[in-house]
Structure 1
Amino acid sequence: MPHAIIFDMDGTLFQTEKILEVSLEETFVHLKDSGEWSGETPLQKYKKIMGVPLPTVWKTLLPHHSEEIRQQANVYFLEKLILNIQKGKGALYPQIEGTLEALHKEGYSLYIASNGLTDYLQAIVKYYRLDRWVTETFSIEQIDSLDKADLVAAIQKKYVFTEGVVVGDRLSDIQAAKKNGLTSVGCRFDFAQEDELAEADHVINDFSSLSEVIRTIEKIHA
């Protein structure tokens, strides 16, 4: 039985799309005002790399800028994301709360492992009270390597389990499961890519089917 279930946050539990565009636009307006940017906000470029650690995001979006400017943009962007979460502009995906509650009642230990930064993740957890069901939320900034596989390994080490499921929308989630001997469930949501989902053990189109997939996994491991 997979006693533990590890969830990604962005594009899996949280509809990042709802606050992404406005927060990114606000950040690039700020960069324009300070003379560091001209042209349109590179929203589509960000969507293509959604899910990677933020240092990689800013190297991609600002390839010709200094590390200092990238860091300033990162800080400003994070502030805007958190503010928009607190304003209620974001949303969880449908069926998230009911599914998490049901899995928690069934005795599963639930965790979040995300490439997002700690303050951002805690803003989401606090606003939606996810800690009612989630044991602990882990950020990639807790891991020197910035590798999600290492983050999942740290969760396994802390909570001592060898069987479990990683639920996420990107290849980093799927690879994190495989590298740690866990089962991967890919989410065909906003930022998912079909070539990446092809690597997952199971794929869901919405959270209403997750419990059924978990039961299937249980039978396999029985």
Structure 2
Amino acid sequence: MYKYLMFDLDGTLVESGDGIVESAKHALSTMGWEMLSEAEYKKFIGPPLFDSFTKFCGMNPEEADRAIEIYREHYESAGYLIAPVYEGVEDMLDELKNRGHVMMVVTSKPAPIAEKIIRKHGLDKYFVSLTGPSHEEKTVHKDVMIKRAFEKNGITDPKSAVMIGDRMFDIEAANKNGVDSIAVMYGYGNREEFERYGATHIVERCSDILDIVR
């Protein structure tokens, strides 16, 4: 059904929540900022960091820039290591590659960090490309990343591709580009969120993706 498969990274391929939360806590603590609840920290998983620090913490742009700098220093030295691959992901990717699907990573995480993560786990062999913002881009949303992935990989028919992710940001971005979506329940989102934003498909396990993309 779909030739091109665009995979989100955090919450879809790797369980990166703990590393993200620890780095966010480190940034706020270093700045002497009021700490958040555990539930509020979970909101950092998915959107661009600039959005998270301004919306969830009430920082002004200059404060958010400083927080991102501290966050990334911590995340790139230690946080990114706390991101195990979800069970079953490698078997799924093996099968999809054998079937001839063209797979790519499309993420809101800065591309240099995302590349370190997939190389660390040996997942880079499955993907023809990785699309993510540069370190210098403050707030580039997932719909822009999908457009860039299309251009990078010469995709002209939106219906030949599907976005696979675990948050509303993935679903919303897919909708904006006329692309179908597969929402995965094993990540950081929930069924109510996926239904509200109009996910094309919702799956419980990564192995269920095999039945949908065919």
Q: Tell me the TM-score normalized by structure 1.
A: 0.83
Tell me, yes or no, if the aligned pair for 1:26 and 1:80 is still in contact at 8 Å. yes
Matches within 5 A, 1:113-132: 113-132=106-125
Tell me, yes or no, if the aligned pair for 2:23 and 2:79 is still in contact at 8 Å. no
**Residue 134, structure 1, aligned to residue 131, structure 2:** no
The amino acid across from 2:213 in the alignment is I
Percent identity (aligned): 22
The amino acid across from 1:109 in the alignment is V
> For 2:72, which of 72, 78, 97 is the aligned residue?
78
Tell me, yes or no, if the aligned pair for 2:167 and 2:188 is still in contact at 8 Å. yes
Write out per-residue CA displacement over residues 82-138 of structure 1, whole angstroms, 9 at most, x where no aligned residue. 22256x432111111121122112111111111111232122122112211111111
Q: Using the TM superposition, give the Cα deviation of residue 185 of structure 1 relative to its aligned residue in structure 2, in angstroms.
A: 0.3
Q: Which runs of 5+ in 2 are unaligned?
A: none
Matches within 5 A, 1:156-167: 156-161=150-155, 162=157, 163-167=160-164
Query: What is the alpha-carbon distance in structure 1 between the residues aligned to residue 28 and residue 150 of structure 2?
Result: 39
Q: Using the TM superposition, give the Cα deviation of residue 213 of structure 1 relative to its aligned residue in structure 2, in angstroms.
A: 1.8
Query: What is the alpha-carbon distance in structure 2 between the residues aligned to residue 154 and residue 25 of structure 1?
Result: 31
Query: What is the alpha-carbon distance in structure 1 between the residues aligned to residue 151 and residue 138 of structure 2?
Result: 16
**Residue 50, structure 1, aligned to residue 45, structure 2:** yes
The amino acid across from 1:51 in the alignment is G
**Residue 181, structure 1, aligned to residue 178, structure 2:** yes
Structure having the higher Rg: 1
Tell me, yes or no, if the aligned pair for 1:143 and 1:151 is still in contact at 8 Å. no
> For 2:61, which of 51, 63, 67 is the aligned residue?
67
Query: What is the alpha-carbon distance in structure 2 between the residues aligned to residue 123 and residue 43 of structure 1?
Result: 27
Match of 1:16 in 2: 16
The amino acid across from 1:9 in the alignment is L
Query: What is the alpha-carbon distance in structure 2 between the residues aligned to residue 138 and residue 4 of structure 1?
Result: 14
The amino acid across from 2:77 in the alignment is L
Q: Which segments of structure 1 move beyond 4 Å, counting only runs of 4 or more?
A: 141-145
Rate the CA distance shift 1:138–1:144 in 2: closer, same or farther, 3 A: same
**Residue 147, structure 1, aligned to residue 141, structure 2:** yes
RMSD of aligned residue pairs (Cα, Å): 2.2
Match of 1:218 in 2: none
Q: Tell me the TM-score normalized by structure 2.
A: 0.86
**Residue 109, structure 1, aligned to residue 108, structure 2:** no
The amino acid across from 2:111 in the alignment is T
Q: Using the TM superposition, give the Cα deviation of residue 47 of structure 1 relative to its aligned residue in structure 2, in angstroms.
A: 1.5
The amino acid across from 2:51 in the alignment is T
Tell me, yes or no, if the aligned pair for 2:7 and 2:104 is still in contact at 8 Å. yes
Query: What is the alpha-carbon distance in structure 2 between the residues aligned to residue 75 and residue 29 of structure 1?
Result: 13
Write out per-residue CA displacement over residues 137-159 of structure 1, whole angstroms, 9 at most, x where no aligned residue. 11144989723222212212222
Query: What is the alpha-carbon distance in structure 2 between the residues aligned to residue 175 and residue 62 of structure 1?
Result: 23
Match of 2:87 in 1: 94
